[in-house]
Amino acid sequence: MPLYSDTVMDHFQHPRNVGKMEDADGIGEVGNAVCGDIMRMYIKVRDGIITDVSFITFGCGSAIASSSMATEMIKGKPIEEALELSNKAVAQALDGLPAHKLHCSVLAEEAVRAAVKDYYDKNNIAYDPAVFGCDMACAHEHDHTPTEE
């Protein structure tokens, strides 16, 4: 049985919205290199709508696929809707992720929120800090179950 669904492989091999954005309104970066995955998400906002989004990611196949899927899911959406994007929704849209890769979808959710927070901060837009409760730094769950070759 292959590790990943066809949808994950498609988004991994043909990532949507990949690349840096020079004139982004908000940039969010989550994860850390020690853990093995970092996602950076760029958003452009007009009248409360995310008009453009892109990402760059260091990480495994599911990390790249999760970033790609998340960008598709928030593009053209109002910010409030983007903030509601859950890791479950990302994983579902990818037709599922292996249990020990679910944290990649959590990272995607966090990357979107980090980008929005950055946009709010840069534009002095007031927000309820509780919405961005976590510190975004490698807060995702890792699976510690060792497997053998």
Three-state DSSP class for residue 82: helix
Q: Are 36 and 120 in contact (CB under 8 A)?
A: no
Candidate residues 22, 47, 128, 148; the one interacting with another protein per rule CB under 8 A: 148
Site string for another protein, 32-71 (x = CB under 8 A): -xxxxxxxx---------------xxxxxx-xx-------
Which residue's entry shows tokens 């809707």?
Answer: 81
Smallest distance, another protein to C-beta of residue 80, A: 27
Q: Give residues with Cβ within 8 angstroms of 146, minimum separation 6.
A: none
Q: How many residues does the chain have?
A: 149
Active site residues: 35, 104
Report how far apart the first and last C-alpha atoms of the chain are (Å, whole number): 16
The conformational region for residue 70 under phi > 0 = left, psi -120 to 50 = alpha, else beta, is alpha
Q: Which is nearer to another protein, 33 or 125 (CB)?
A: 33
Task: Please give the distance of CA 142 from its chain centroid, rounded to a whole number.
Answer: 16
Q: Which is nearer to another protein, 12 or 132 (CB)?
A: 12
Q: Which is nearer to another protein, 75 or 101 (CB)?
A: 101
Candidate residues 29, 109, 110, 118; the one interacting with another protein per rule CB under 8 A: 29
Query: Which residues between 3 and 22 bind another protein (CB under 8 A)?
Result: 9, 12-13, 15, 18-20
Residues that bind another protein (CB under 8 A): 9, 12-13, 15, 18-20, 29, 33-40, 56-61, 63-64, 100-101, 142-149
